[in-house]
Amino acid sequence: MRHYIAKRVGYSVLSLLLLSLTIFLFIRLTGDPASLLTEPGASAADVAAIQHKFGLDRPVWVQYGLFMFNLLRGDLGDSFYYQTPVLELYQSRLPHSLLLGVVAMGFSLVLGIPTGILAAIRVGRFWDSAGKLFALLGLSLPSFLVGLLLILFFSVYLEWLPSSGSGTFWHLLMPAFALGWYFAAAHMRLTRSSMLEVLGSEYVKLARLKGLPEALVIGKHAFKNALIPVLTLAGINLIQMINVAVVVETVFAWPGIGRLLYEGVTFRDFPVVQGVVILGGSMIVVVNLLIDIVYALVDPRIRLEQ
Amino acid sequence: MPMTDNNPPSAVTRRLGLAMLASSLIAGGARDAAAGAQGQMNIAVHISLSPTWFDPSETNSLITPYLLMYGMHDAMMKPMREASPGLSLAESYTMSPDGLTHTFVLRPGLTFHNGDPLTSDDVKFTYERYKGTSAALLRERIASLETPDPRRIVIKLKEVWPDFLLFYTGATGANWIVPRKYIEKVGDAGFRKAPVGAGPYKFVSYDAGLELVLEAFEPYWRKSPSIKRIVMKVVPDEATRLIALKRGEFDFAYSIRGELAAEVQHTPGLSLKVASDGATYWMYFPEQWDAASPWSNPKVRRAAALALDYVAINNALSLGLSRVTSNFIPRHLAFYWPSPPPVYDPAQAVKLLAEAGYPGGFDAGSYHCDSSYANLGEAAVNGLAAVGIKAQLRPLERAAFDKGFTDKRYKKGIIQGSSAAFGNAATRLAVWVVQGGPYVYGSYPEIDALYPLQANELDVGKRTAILHKMQQTIYEKDMFVPLWQLGFINAVGPRVAESGIGLIKGFVYTGPYEDLTLKEK
């Protein structure tokens, strides 16, 4: 088991190293931030002064070395745009994103799981088709469109909800729904397929043969087992909701990490983009590592196969 | 001699200094100390608010920091409603006859928001601390900044510099005064977290990139602000900004364009406020110095200039709120030459092309532009195509486009240039026209030869004549084909009486903040 965990940790560290290198190089391919921090027509001296100030006039490998050195000390650098430590910016936005992510996840599970179950137990019939349509719409409608439609309907026509910003429960509803909508469709699809697999299994057939009530078969025996992959996916999705809700947070002016990432990209704020991607990536890597370890603990075949 | 549009900053003389002194006394007399500030104005801002904008020492070559600086800070002289630059914290300004000594006298009794007195020592500290745009240039040209008494500042130049006032009071943050005592106590980072200035509004709170709250500084020298509190919230999405404005969540929304601006016009209670001193946009032909290229023929460039229906483009893309122009230098800049209005004459364009040897037109290759204004490029490409000049639109995201431009990668085709940088006609010519400029692909010797003649010319009349001659030559050669001077369109809600948009010449954001008012209930 120790060997298995060490190997997994090694893979995780390697993944993070590759992630840091990739984001560091790719963000630099997008161009020079100095040109966004000056008006077109600014003098070459002013542009050069900005490049010098942010260390962009140094060789890339030197910049990467410094970046990694600081990263290992827990320093993600200072934002070019905000002139504030990236970690501080991230921490200030994290509570908003956590709140949005958790409520959006609630929406997605409340919508996705019952719909998925209904589609599975009524497979090939109206509710299944309705579920498929729901999944199709959820996965294909872009979240900015969903967001704008929600604003149009609930803010402009009905005047029930504030159009943007944060601060009250009412501010949270539309962005959480817009964000949860896509994931609800994903959760619905997975629940449906997982339920179908479980409902076709021998032990469910046996339960039915034993004459157990259908509600008990589905609720106790099938649903509990079908839920495992859904919850695993939900865990990973929650991290995505927290870190990359770029469009929803921008449309609703929600002060979260996704918007911070949007700002970082817009202003070519390299430290912000690097910081958000690395922190988000780290969360995913750590969660995956934990899942791997828990799976191995629960199912010895996994660690033995390794 | 009053300071007017035709009398640019460098025209300041002792007589003008006296006139400015008199006007400042009048302004001081008009100070409304009795009025108490009331109410709150909520502003939806289109761009993330950066704390670097709280600190004038950091101003780079962008106009955006002044969006906040006009609220929280104040300068000895700055572009004002009355004059550009006009006296602000300084009650007088004089220049010695030789142009080497510049003396500013501060108003009496000035204080920062924390109650500390504002003195010449703070002015000196501000200048020494300044590290933003053109800091090196200022240090290279200024021999000394002396403070003989708490209200007097004497700046001595190493040599005559006609643009001293432009750079010191207009194009940099070097004279936006910050408090020495406070900064020495809290440090630079502390200052950015809780800035203290001398402007009409004091800092209350800031949520990084999201929200800024300001409160009226009632003892402000010019007049007491009438609005107690200003809350700026960043709403990046344009449609959301408009909806929030319609719902009354905001009183004012920056940057509402195109169809959304048209929607504002149709919404009762809302109105558009346009700052018409925005950036100019133009077509530039990098091949005009290549004898093998059609663009080297002046008739072809004239044909391109005649091919575009400027008024229709303006109406279609900016509701007619931008300005059509035939000079690539913006109208509000000093030494601007008032060029003739642009002409749309496609028949004449076709005729000129035929005379130049291109009866069926020609393939001009790529039309490079910043993707933010690809719609303008598209209109230009369509106009050119209508007379036979075919070009393919190649929009690129701004930074990449700008890098390609300055790296001289667009040697063929057409480039859509633009600039909102500070300066005057001379600084624009240095960057875009004269040999060696960062955006210059080629130059004309007769224009290059004129440039150094004006660089140290203190006689405003002579300098104006030279700079006008340069612009006229550029116009006659069709070196550029200007498309428009962009109107920066904003939307205002029903509670606003004065939005401050367009009050200060050359400034596209709201200001002066102390002039903002809400309607009485």
Mean pLDDT of B190-199: 94
Q: Are A70 and A153 contained in the same domain?
A: no
Chain B residues with CB-CB distance to A49 below 8 A: 133, 135-136
What pLDDT shows up at residue B61?
63
Q: Are A96 and A232 contained in the same domain?
A: yes
Chain B residues with CB-CB distance to A33 below 8 A: 399
- Contact across the interface for A260 and B209, Cβ inside 8 Å: yes
Q: What is the mean pLDDT of chain B?
A: 89
Structural domain containing residue B435: 280-485
Task: Tell me which chain A residue has its CA closest to the CA of residue B54.
Answer: A82
Chain B residues with CB-CB distance to A163 below 8 A: 240, 243-244, 247, 249
What pLDDT shows up at residue A98?
92
Model pLDDT for residues B19-76, shown as the tens digit of each residue: 444 444 444 444 444 457 889 999 999 988 888 889 998 777 677 888 999 999 999 9
What pLDDT shows up at residue B25?
43
Does a structural domain hold residue B202? no
Q: Which of A97, A149, A151, A164 to mutate to test the interface with B (most CBs of B within 10 A)?
A: A164
What pLDDT shows up at residue B10?
42
What pLDDT shows up at residue B28?
43
The full DSSP string for B143-208 is EEEEEEETTEEEEEESS--TTHHHHHHTSSSTTB---HHHHHHHHHHHHHHS---SSSEEEEEEET
Q: Are B218 and B245 contained in the same domain?
A: yes
Model pLDDT for residues B213-258, shown as the tens digit of each residue: 999 999 999 999 999 999 999 998 888 899 999 989 999 999 998 8
What pLDDT shows up at residue A302?
66
Model pLDDT for residues B86-137, shown as the tens digit of each residue: 999 999 999 999 999 999 999 999 999 999 999 999 999 999 999 887 888 8
| Domain at B347, CATH number | 3.10.105.10
Q: Are A236 and A135 contained in the same domain?
A: yes
Q: Are B392 and B453 contained in the same domain?
A: yes
Model pLDDT for residues B135-173, shown as the tens digit of each residue: 888 999 999 999 999 999 999 999 999 999 988 987 788
The predicted complex's ipTM stands at 0.71
Model pLDDT for residues B265-307, shown as the tens digit of each residue: 999 999 999 988 888 999 999 999 999 999 999 999 999 999 9
> Which of A120-124, A187-191, A264-268, B517-521 has the largest mean confidence?
A187-191
Give the C-alpha separation, A3 to A261, whole Å.
37
Structural domain containing residue A276: 1-81+272-306
End-of-domain residue from the set B196, B221, B240: B196
Q: Are B270 and B370 contained in the same domain?
A: no
pLDDT at B339 over 70: yes
Q: Which of A88, A162, A268 sits opposite B399 (nearest CB)?
A: A268
Close Cβ partners of A165 (under 8 Å, ≥ 6 residues apart) = A171, A252, A253, A254, B233, B235, B244, B249
What pLDDT shows up at residue B24?
46
Does a structural domain hold residue B223? yes
Q: Are B306 and B419 contained in the same domain?
A: yes
- Contact across the interface for B240 and A252, Cβ inside 8 Å: yes
End-of-domain residue from the set B166, B196, B226: B196
Q: What number of C-beta contacts closer than 8 Å exist between A and B?
A: 149
- Residues B383, B309 contacting (CB under 8 angstroms): yes
Task: Tell me which chain B residue has its CA closest to the CA of residue A159.
Answer: B247
How close B287 gets to chain A, by Cα (Å)? 20
- Contact across the interface for A156 and B243, Cβ inside 8 Å: yes
Chain B residues with CB-CB distance to A258 below 8 A: none
pLDDT at A208 over 50: yes
Q: What is the mean pLDDT of chain A?
A: 87
What pLDDT shows up at residue B34?
41
- Contact across the interface for A42 and B137, Cβ inside 8 Å: no
pTM of the full predicted structure?
A: 0.79
Q: Are A97 and A212 contained in the same domain?
A: yes
Does a structural domain hold residue B243? yes
What pLDDT shows up at residue B23?
44
- Contact across the interface for B240 and A268, Cβ inside 8 Å: no
Structure tokens, B455:
């660089």
| Domain at A180, CATH number | 1.10.3720.10
Task: Tell me which chain A residue has its CA closest to the CA of residue B440.
Answer: A41
Q: Are A101 and A224 contained in the same domain?
A: yes
Domain count, chain B: 3
